[in-house]
Structure 1
Amino acid sequence: MNSTINLVFQKNNIGLGKRKHAVARVFLVPGDGNIIINKLPGEKYLQYNETYLGLIKAPLEKLNLNSQFNIVALVTGGGLTGQAEAIQLGVARLLCKMEVQNRAILKPFGFLTRDARIKERKKYGLRKARKAPQYSKR
């Protein structure tokens, strides 16, 4: 039993997803559709938010595999929304790595596109990225 777990959690069986500052390392384990995030049940970690849970399960549902795999994710950085979207990208990438024909199904839904929007850097002379100090005429 322990050797099968080690086979699943290897470097070549990982789906890496990123969104803003969130980074998710995702593993798919044969199971019955449970989600485990940072060793906690997915529902508890995502505060029972159905939107986040739906985001994560969406690639599996499009391929009708939602009751065949458990999703195990290790997530760092960002907030819950960014983490959920990072896990979704990791799941989609891992499914494409497992079966090449899955790519043609998932690509039109946008599951394989990395959202490149990140926080803009602060510029000198400004308070934030674009917020300037108040202008005083006198």
Structure 2
Amino acid sequence: MSENQTTNSLADLKTLVAGTPAGEGLEGTAITREPKRDAQGRSYATGRRKNAIARVWIKPGKGEIVINGKPQATYFARPVLRMLLAQPFLVADRYQQFDVICTVVGGGLSGQAGAVRHGLSRALTYYEPGLRPILKKAGFLTRDPRVVERKKYGKAKARRSFQFSKR
């Protein structure tokens, strides 16, 4: 079959794909990604969760995490939030191998911690593309789409009605 031939049915497509040099179709092909690093050797990514947006830079180091100019233990006082930040490194087996600098705006502390985790995961995949399948399987690269529902007119909150009075 020629390269410019059009397929009219799925059977034609199957024979066209079976004839490719990869053998049994397109399953054997793999995308090779190159690391994205700036002049200082850092990788940058943006993470989002609820209304929080985190800009994250990572570079090889001793494992120091600085958020909005403060150390991680000061900014996120709750241990659960600090555990959230460590998850991408633990899953990728890179704990305390990278220094992290990030700025976070919007939302509350929980949303900000989730945004930093999302940004960290993305920055790790930019720094080491081989970590992408591990972090993807753990679900750290997926942006959590849940956001607060807006308040509707005629309602007390988003869905809550005013108290009904019969008399």
Shorter chain as denominator, the TM-score bin is: 0.7 to 0.9
Looking at secondary structure, tell me which structure has more helix per residue: 1
Give aligned-pair identity as a percent.
43
Report Cα offsets for 1:107-128 as digits up to 9, x if no partner: 1111111111101011111111
Give the gaps of 5 or more residues in structure 2.
Answer: 1-37
Distance across 1 between alignment mates of 2:132 and 2:41 = 21
Report Cα offsets for 1:52-77 as digits up to 9, x if no partner: 11111111111221121011110011
CA drift at 1:98: 1.8
Residue in 2 aligned with 1:38?
Answer: 68
Residue in 1 aligned with 2:20?
Answer: none
CA drift at 1:97: 1.4
Distance across 1 between alignment mates of 2:137 and 2:59 = 25
CA drift at 1:89: 0.4
Runs of 4 or more above 4 Å deviation: none
Aligned residue among 58, 61, 81 for 2:90 = 61
Q: Confirm whether residue 92 of structure 1 aligns to residue 125 of structure 2.
A: no
CA drift at 1:29: 2.2
> When the two structures are aligned, how many residues end up with a matched partner?
130
Distance across 1 between alignment mates of 2:164 and 2:116 = 44
Give the gaps of 5 or more residues in structure 1.
Answer: none
CA drift at 1:41: 0.6
TM-score by length of 1: 0.87
Q: Confirm whether residue 7 of structure 1 aligns to residue 40 of structure 2.
A: yes
Higher relative contact order (CA 8 A, sep 6+): 1
Distance across 2 between alignment mates of 1:136 and 1:24 = 46
- Tell which structure's C-alpha radius of gyration is larger: 2
TM-score by length of 2: 0.73
CA drift at 1:8: 5.1
Residue in 2 aligned with 1:81?
Answer: 110
Report Cα offsets for 1:79-138 as digits up to 9, x if no partner: 111111110000001111122221111111111111111010111111110111111222
Question: What is the DSSP-based 3-state SS (H/G/I as helix, E as strand, rest coil) of the residue aligned with 1:101?
Answer: helix
CA contact (8 A) 1:32 1:67 kept: yes
